[in-house]
Amino acid sequence: MPAEEVQERGREAMSEPTLEAARALLRRHHGHEDFRLQQAGAIEALLAGRDALVLMPTGGGKSVCYQIPALLRPGTGVVVSPLIALMQDQVSALAQIGIRAAFLNSTQSAAERRATEQALREGALDLVYLAPERLLMPETLALLESIPVALFAIDEAHCVSQWGHDFRPEYRQLSVLHARFPRVPRIALTATADPRTRREIVEALALQDAVCLVSSFDRPNIRYHISEGQNARERLWDFIEQAHPQDAGIVYCLSRRKVEETARWLSERGRVALPYHAGLDDATRAAHQARFLAEDGVIIVATIAFGMGIDKPDVRFVAHLSLPKSIEAYYQETGRAGRDGEPADAWMAYGLQDVITLRQMMQEGTAEEQQQRIQQQKLEAMLGLCELSTCRRQALLAWFGETLDAPCGNCDNCLQPPQTWDATEVARKALSAVYRTGQRYGTGHVIKVLRGLRDDRIERLGHDRLSVFGIGDALDEGEWRGVFRQLIARGLLAVDAGGYGVLRLTEASRPLLRGETTLELRKRASSGRRQKRRAAAVEALAPADQALFEALRALRLRLAREQGVPPYVIFSDATLRAMAEHRPADEAALLEISGVGQQKLERYGQAFLDEINAHGVKLA
Ligand code: ADP
Ligand code: ZN
C-alpha cells in the first residue's frame, strides 16, 4: 500500500471516522458505489464502538461490515472463523483490493505463524483471520492484549447454537472476548435466520447491548423452478444446455451411487462434472473442490456432504435431482447459487419415488419417534412448496416469517402459471372433515374418514357415523395427501407444534368453508415438458456484447491461473458483464464500473481496457 494511503487512513481514524469516510473506502477498495442492506448500520455501530449482530442472507455482503471498520479504527481487526480451508482465499482476495490481511491456523508451519505474529506486533495488518481454537490459546490472547485491536468479527456465529446444524463447542468460549476486551467492539455475523438461534447467539456471546441488524432473507436474483415427473436427468440436461452451457453449478443427488452415475453421465456429454460424497477419500474430495473453485464452468455433483463453507460467488445454478428433506435444507442448498447477486437458477426435478425413499430413510433412521414425526412434517411442508401453483418465493419467505406483498415474477409459477383444477369442493370437504372430527387428528386419520374406511379407532370414536364419513371416496390416498399439503402450504390448515401433526382450521379457512372463495390446485405435471430459456447472465446482454463478455472471462481465467487464485477474486461476473455492456474506453470510465477499485485498476485496468478496445469501444 502506498505510504500516503497509510497516513490518510491514520488521519481518518483519528478524526472520529464517519460513514462518509467508510463509503470512500468502499469505493476505493471494493469499487462499489454505496452500501447495501444492513452494511451501513453495522459499520456505524462499530465506528461508534458498539457491538452488532448481523443477520444477512448468503451473498448479502457480510464481510464488508467488518472489513471497513477494521480499516477505519486504530489497530487490527480480528476475524474468528471456523472455515480454515477458506482463509487462504479470503486473504488473497483482500490482497487484490489492497487490504493487508493474514491468518493464523493449524495448516501453517511454525515459521509462517511467527511471520504473521510479527506483522501483528508491527501493526502491519488490517485484518487477521483465526480459528476459534487458535484464538482461545493463552498465548494468542496474550498477543492480542499486547496490540491495539480494532474489533472482533465472529463469523458463522450460529456455530454457538446447540440447536443449529453446525454446533462447535469452542464457539461457546468466545464469551471470553467480552470479558477480556471490554472496550473492543464485537460483531457477530450469520446467515442462519431462525429466532431460536438468534437468541442463543446473543446469550452465549453476551451481545445483549448489541445493535441487531436483520436483512430480508429474500434472494431476488435466484429464480426458483420445481417440477415433478419422469426423466429427471434428461430434463436436467436440457436445462443445463439451454440455460448454463458454460457456467459453474452444483447438482445434488440423494445417494452416492446416483452422484457417481450423474457425474459420469454429464461428463460423457462434454461437461466437466466431478463427484463429491463422503465415500470418496479426502484427497479426491479436496481435489474436486479445488477445481470447482479454481476453474470456470465446473459442475460438482454431490450428496449434501458438499456445500458447507463453499465460498464461490459465481455458482450460476443449483440443481436438485431429488427432494431436499425440508424447506430449510432447500433454502440453504439453493442459497449457494448467485452469491454475487447476478441472476442464478435453483432448479429441481423430483419423482414421487423420492418421497417414498425419504420417508423410508426417516423411518429406518435412529431418530426417536418424536423426532421422526417432526422430520415427516418438514418433508410434507417441502412437498407443499413443490406442489404449489402460486408464487414460490412468497411461500418460501412465509415459511421464514417474512411477507412478500406481491408475487415475485421470478419463479416458474409466476413466469408460466401452471395448469390448475378447481378444488373448491374438495377443499371444503377436507376442512369440514377436520372440523367434524374435532380438530384433534392428523392427516392420515382425516383421510380415512373422508374415504369412508373403517378401523378400530374410527369405530371406537364413532367417526363412521359423522356426516363427512365417506364423502371423499372419489380421490385416492395420494391425491388427498396432495390436497392436504396444499391446504397447509397455503395456510388454510395449521399443524400443531406438538409433533403429532394435529390439524386445525385457521382464520383464512373461513371464507372457503362459507363458499365465499374458491381454490385452484396444480394439476399433476405431464412428464417431460421442455422449458426453453437462455442463460440469464448472458441473456441480459445484447448479442454483440456476449462475445466480449466471453473474451473478458477468458482473460480473467488467464490472469487467475498466473497468480494461482480463483477467477472471481480478480473480477466478479457482474463486473465483467458491466464492462461488456458499457465498454469503458479509459481508466476513468473503467473506475465507474462497480467492482473496480483503485488497486484492481492499477493491476488489471490496462489488460481489460485492451481487450475491450480490441472488440471496439461502443459508439454513443
Ligand atoms: P456474504 O459473506 O454475506 O455471503 P460477501 O461478503 O462474500 O457475502 O459478499 C458477496 C458479494 O457481494 C461479493 O461479490 C461482494 O463484492 C458483493 N458486495 C458486497 N457489498 C456490496 C455493495 N455494497 N455493493 C455491491 N456489491 C457488494
Ligand atoms: Zn414467484
Query: 54 alpha carbon to ligand 1 midpoint, in Å?
Result: 14
Give nearest CA residue, ligand 1 atom 18.
Answer: 61
Q: In a mutational test of the pocket of ligand 1, which residue from 23, 32, 94, 336 has the highest number of ligand atoms less than 8 Å from its CB?
A: 32
CATH number of the domain bearing residue 340: 3.40.50.300
Alpha carbon of 591 to ligand 2 centroid (Å):
36
With contact defined as beta carbons under 8 Å apart, do 419 and 247 qualify?
Answer: no
> What is the C-alpha to C-alpha distance for residues 25 and 599, in angstroms, rounded to an integer?
12
Mean pLDDT highest for which of 351-360, 491-500, 509-518? 509-518
The pLDDT score that the predictor gives to residue 215 is 84
The 10s digit of each residue's pLDDT in 105-145 is 988 999 999 999 999 999 999 999 999 999 999 999 999 99
* Spacing, Cα 228 to ligand 2 middle (Å): 18
pTM over 0.95: no
List the grid coordinates of 95: 490482497
- Same-domain pairing of 203 and 78: yes
Distance 509 CA to ligand 2 centre (A): 23
Residue 568 lies in a domain: yes
Residue 407 belongs to a domain: no
Confidence class for position 537, pLDDT limits 50, 70, 90: low
User: What is the atom index within ligand 1 of the atom nearest the CA of 33?
Assistant: 24
Which ligand 1 atom is at minimum distance from the Cα of 36? 23
Average pLDDT over residues 425-445: 94
Beta strands 52-55; 211-214: pairing state: parallel
Of all ligands present, the nearest one to the C-alpha of 409 is 2
CATH number reported for the structural domain that contains residue 575 in this entry = 1.10.150.80
* pLDDT attached to residue 531: 41
The three cell numbers locating residue 1: 500500500
Nearest to 75 by CA among 129, 175, 152, 177: 152
How far CA 449 is from CA of 196, 238, 462, in Å, comes to: 37, 43, 10
Residue-wise pLDDT for 448-480, tens only, equals: 999 999 999 999 999 999 999 999 988 888 889
Residue nearest to atom 20 of ligand 1 (CA): 61
Q: Is residue 100 part of a domain?
A: yes
Exposed, middle or buried: residue 334 (CB in 10 Å: 0-12, 13-18, 19+)? buried
186: in domain: yes
Give per-residue pLDDT as tens, 386-415: 989 999 999 998 887 788 989 999 999 999
Shortest-distance ligand to the CA of residue 61: 1
Residue of the CA atom closest to atom 24 of ligand 1: 32
Ligand nearest to the CA of 36: 1
Residue 402 lies in a domain: no
Looking only at Cα atoms, what is the longest distance across the chain? 88
Of 175, 189, 209, 158, the closest CA to residue 69 belongs to 189
For the ranges 215-229, 240-254, 296-310, 545-559, which has the lowest average pLDDT?
296-310
Q: Are residues 438 and 504 in the same domain?
A: yes
The ligand 1 atom at the shortest distance from the C-alpha of residue 155 is: 2
Give the residue from 485, 420, 244 showing the smallest Cα distance to 347: 244
Whether residues 548 and 511 fall in one domain: no
Q: For the chain, how many structural domains are there in total?
A: 4
Q: Are residues 344 and 458 in the same domain?
A: no
Measured from the Cα of 30, ligand 1's closest atom is 16
Q: What is the structure's pLDDT at 534?
A: 42
Neighbours of 20 (CB within 10 A): 8
Q: Any idea how long the chain is?
A: 620
Q: Determine how β-strand 211-214 pairs with β-strand 344-350.
A: unpaired
Percent of the chain with pLDDT over 70: 91
Distance of CA 43 to the CA centre of its chain: 23
Domain boundary residue among 522, 555, 570?
522
pLDDT category of residue 214 using cuts at 50, 70 and 90? confident
Least Cα distance to 219 among 377, 338, 329, 65 occurs for 338
- How far apart, in whole angstroms, are the C-alpha atoms of residue 597 and residue 143? 33
In a domain, 105, yes or no: yes
Which H helix or E strand runs over 118?
helix 110-121
* DSSP 8-class letter at 396: H
CA atoms of 92 and 603, how far apart (whole Å): 14
Q: Distance, CA 30 to ligand 1 centroid (Å)?
A: 9
Give, for ligand 1, the residue of 30, 91, 216 to mutate: max count of ligand atoms closer than 8 Å to Cβ: 30
Expressed in angstroms and rounded, the spacing between residue 62 Cα and the centre of ligand 1 is 7
What is the 290 CA–ligand 1 centroid distance (Å)? 22
User: Which residue among 458, 488, 522 closes a domain?
Assistant: 522
Q: Smallest Cα–Cα separation from 343: which of 236, 224, 215, 190?
A: 224
Residues 467 and 541 in one domain: no
| Ligand nearest to C-alpha 29 | 1
Domain endpoint, select from 350, 385, 404: 350
Distance CA 387, CA 419 (A): 12
* Residues 5-20, mean pLDDT to the nearest whole number: 59
- Domain holding 501, by residue range, is 420-522
Residue with CA nearest ligand 1 atom 19: 61
Residues 6+ apart with CB under 8 A from 237: 266, 269
Residue type at 230? Q
Q: Is the pLDDT of residue 438 over 80?
A: yes
Domain match, 425 and 572 both = no
More confident residue, 346 or 16: 346
Give yes or no for residue 490 having a pLDDT over 80. Answer: no
Q: Is 43 exposed, middle or buried (0-12, 13-18, 19+ CB in 10 A)?
A: buried
* Same-domain pairing of 202 and 227: no
Nearest residue CA, atom 14 of ligand 1? 340
Is residue 234 located within the same domain as residue 117?
Answer: no
27: CA distance to ligand 1 center in Å? Answer: 13
Residues with CB under 5 A from ligand 2 (ion): 391, 393, 407-408, 411, 414
Gyration radius of the chain's alpha carbons: 27
Q: Is it the case that residue 568 has pLDDT exceeding 90?
A: no
C-alpha cell recorded at residue 515: 363458499
Q: Hey, which of 339, 576, 592 would you mutate to test ligand 1's pocket, going by the most ligand atoms within 8 Å of its Cβ?
A: 339
Of 127, 19, 24, nearest to 71 (Cα)?
127
Nearest to 128 by CA among 193, 173, 81: 81
Q: Which residues line ligand 1 (CB under 6 A)?
A: 30, 32, 35-36, 39, 56, 58-64, 313, 339-341, 572, 594
With vertex at residue 125, the alpha carbon angle to CA 119 and CA 130, rounded to the nearest 5 degrees, is 85
CA distance 325 to 382: 7
Measured from the Cα of 35, ligand 1's closest atom is 23
Ligand nearest to the CA of 408: 2
The residue whose CA has the least distance to atom 27 of ligand 1 is 61
Interval between CA 63 and ligand 1 midpoint (Å): 7
In a shared domain, residues 197 and 52: yes
78 shares a domain with 54: yes
- Cα distance between residue 490 and residue 414, in whole Å: 16
Among residues 615, 539, 491, the alpha carbon closest in space to that of 223 is found at 539
Q: Pairing between strand 503-505 and 493-495?
A: antiparallel
Interstrand relation of 186-190 and 52-55 (parallel, antiparallel or unpaired): parallel
Backbone angles phi, psi at 113, to 5 degrees: -65, -40
Amino acid making up residue 452? G
